[in-house]
A and B are shown apart, each in its own frame.
Chain A
Amino acid sequence: MIRNFFIYLAVLVVGILFFASMVLFVIPAFQESTVALVGLSSGSSGSGEEGNDKASIEVDISKLEKKLDSFTPTNAYMVVNTSDNHFFLYKGRKLIRDGICSTGKNEKLVSADRKYEHDFYTPFGVRKILRKSTNPVWKKPDWAFIEDGLPIPSANDPSRWETGTLGAYKLEIGDGYMIHGTIYKRRMGMSVTHGCIRLLDDDLEAVYKTMEVGSKVYIY
């Protein structure tokens, strides 16, 4: 009785394995075979598209390609990859510099009393350089104090002003986001910022000197 039970069980298991292998390997292969794939023709192809010949289509393609190319800025622009924390600086469509950077840490900071929340991320999309300045002074926002476990001072309290933290240059790209330097060199190449794009000193200088107000920054 027990012996028979095991025989049935073994046969059943073999059967299930056979079926599974058919479903996973044989049937999909069969679906891709010519037996299943009859000619996929709409029955409406012919010698149509009057007036279209090879030469005129090629002219059209060339025009369209030029139009597509015209979207790429001819002056300086920057591309920032936030996944790899890497930036690329282009001028006249030519890559002139690339290197590591640091971008947003993708965190939501919540104060202990839950009254304060702030999202730290680098926004994707295209932005423009709005302002440039040298030797920037950082006016610390509320979150900088909350993150350090400090009480929030008044709006113009002297403790809000910090020099050196942003490096030698800053380029503003809107909504409080900036491209700037850092004193935390060990953390370069990591997603650690509050949303700004941090660069190393030499890279920052090159970016500052190359990018004009109005130059585009593409972030992904």
Chain B
Amino acid sequence: MKENSSDGFDSLFVKKRSGTKYIILIILFSVLALTSIYTYLSVGSVRDRMKTAQDQAIGSPQINSSLFTQLKEKAWVESRLKMASGDSIGLSIDLEQHRIQLELKGVVLLSSKIRDASISGFFRKMDGNVYFTMFGTPLTIQQFKLSIPKNSFKIVEAPKDTIAALAAIDAAMKKDSLKDENVFWTVKLDRKFDLNIQGIDSISEAHNKYKFGKGFEFERNLKNITSSFQHILKFSKPSYTPEILISIPENEAKAILRALPRKAMVTIKI
């Protein structure tokens, strides 16, 4: 009687354990399946983006590939000239010369050396026609996303008397003007890619500063994960946006950000 009951108990335990195993396997399989589906959809989104770029270039004048370097230089200067004909401050980015400039009516207001830059593989795969469709004329900023306010404007109530006015001046003098800010901003450009600018004071900072949750990058990563889940649940392709990431000194990143109008023009040479 005892032996029988002991056998029954053991067999029950084994069944339970194998049940646990199955559930674990199901969870792992589900995760792998979701990841595979998402990878497949992600690759599809890249190809869709490339197809769009190719379609936009169809019908543009043929480019002699042996003259690509010269034609690229010509397009770059032409694009800057177009930007100079406007009344607004614009941005020119020369990734070949590692230089980013604020320009107004053709006059260089600020010129900064790019300390570090990376571009999506999408841009490396462009042929001449796709390149000129993308960068042959100035681009226009569609949207800003910022880690610091673009132009902070404070509202101050007038003091009631001279004593309050003096106290306000004292308080303003005591304010710490050296704020430690992470300067990172992204602009969406009208040809469906993003330009990311980060302020850094050293190259190692460029690689590490925003990687471990210092605000902006963390928020972006979190959004990526949540939107990925949404796409998987809907079995829809995630959007693929090619990116250019540029690292420049922090005070210059801040100055450029504050100077650029909301719909500023940008010229880029890759």
Q: Is the CB of B61 within 8 A of A42?
A: no
Contacts of A108 in B (CB 8 A): 153-156
> Is the CB of A68 closer than 8 A to any CB of chain B?
yes
Interface of chain B residues 21 through 62 with chain A (CB within 8 A): 23-24, 27-28, 30-31, 34-35, 38-39, 42-43, 45-47, 50, 53-54, 57-62
Contacts of A53 in B (CB 8 A): 67
> Is the CB of A72 closer than 8 A to any CB of chain B?
yes
- Closest beta carbon of chain B to A110's beta carbon, Å: 6
Closest to B172 in A: A192
- Contact check: which of A22, A38, A45, A64 meets B50 at CB < 8 Å? A38
Q: Is the CB of A27 within 8 A of B162?
A: no
> Is the CB of B146 closer than 8 A to any CB of chain A?
no
Q: Is the CB of A49 within 8 A of B67?
A: yes
Known A11-B28, A71-B107; judge A107-B153 contact (CB<8 A). Answer: yes
Docked CA distance A186–B122 (Å) = 52
- Closest beta carbon of chain A to B243's beta carbon, Å: 10
> Is the CB of B120 closer than 8 A to any CB of chain A?
yes
- Closest beta carbon of chain A to B49's beta carbon, Å: 9
- Closest beta carbon of chain B to A25's beta carbon, Å: 10
Contacts of B225 in A (CB 8 A): 19-20, 23-24
> Is the CB of A39 closer than 8 A to any CB of chain B?
yes
- Closest beta carbon of chain B to A62's beta carbon, Å: 9
> Is the CB of A81 closer than 8 A to any CB of chain B?
yes
> Is the CB of A146 closer than 8 A to any CB of chain B?
yes
A-binding segment of B72-80, B186-194, B200-208: B72-80
A-binding segment of B4-12, B126-134, B136-144: B126-134
> Is the CB of B161 closer than 8 A to any CB of chain A?
yes
- Closest beta carbon of chain B to A142's beta carbon, Å: 11
Count of chain A to chain B residue pairs whose CB atoms are closer than 8 Å in the complex: 243
Docked CA distance A81–B80 (Å) = 21
Contacts of A192 in B (CB 8 A): 172
Which of B87, B152, B258 has the most chain A CB within a 10 Å cutoff?
Answer: B258
B-binding segment of A28-36, A158-166, A172-180, A199-207: A28-36
Closest to B149 in A: A106
Contacts of A126 in B (CB 8 A): 104-105, 107
Interface of chain A residues 86 through 120 with chain B (CB within 8 A): 105-112, 116, 119
Size bracket, chain A contacts: 35 or more
Q: Is the CB of B70 within 8 A of A41?
A: no
Q: Is the CB of A37 within 8 A of B154?
A: no
Q: Is the CB of A124 within 8 A of B89?
A: yes
- Closest beta carbon of chain B to A35's beta carbon, Å: 7
> Is the CB of B236 closer than 8 A to any CB of chain A?
no
- Contact check: which of B34, B53, B70, B81 meets A54 at CB < 8 Å? B70
> Is the CB of A67 closer than 8 A to any CB of chain B?
yes
Q: Is the CB of A84 within 8 A of B255?
A: yes
Contacts of A208 in B (CB 8 A): none
Q: Is the CB of A45 within 8 A of B42?
A: no
23 A-B pairs in the complex with CB atoms less than 8 angstroms apart = A7-B24, A8-B20, A15-B31, A19-B228, A24-B225, A30-B39, A33-B121, A40-B130, A42-B54, A42-B130, A44-B57, A48-B64, A71-B106, A83-B251, A84-B251, A105-B154, A107-B153, A108-B154, A110-B155, A112-B158, A126-B104, A148-B162, A149-B159
Beyond A4-B20, A38-B47, 16 extra complex contacts between A and B, CB < 8 Å: A7-B24, A11-B24, A11-B27, A12-B27, A22-B39, A24-B225, A43-B58, A46-B64, A53-B67, A64-B77, A73-B107, A79-B107, A108-B155, A110-B156, A147-B158, A147-B159
Give residues in A with beta carbon < 8 Å to B.
4, 7-8, 11-12, 15-16, 18-20, 22-24, 27, 30-49, 52-54, 57-58, 60-61, 64-65, 67-73, 77, 79, 81-84, 105-112, 116, 119, 121, 124-126, 146-150, 186-187, 190, 192, 216, 218, 220
Instruction: Rank and list the top 8 A-B pairs by shortest CB-CB distance, nearest first.
Output: A71-B106, A48-B62, A42-B57, A220-B259, A40-B125, A83-B255, A15-B31, A42-B129
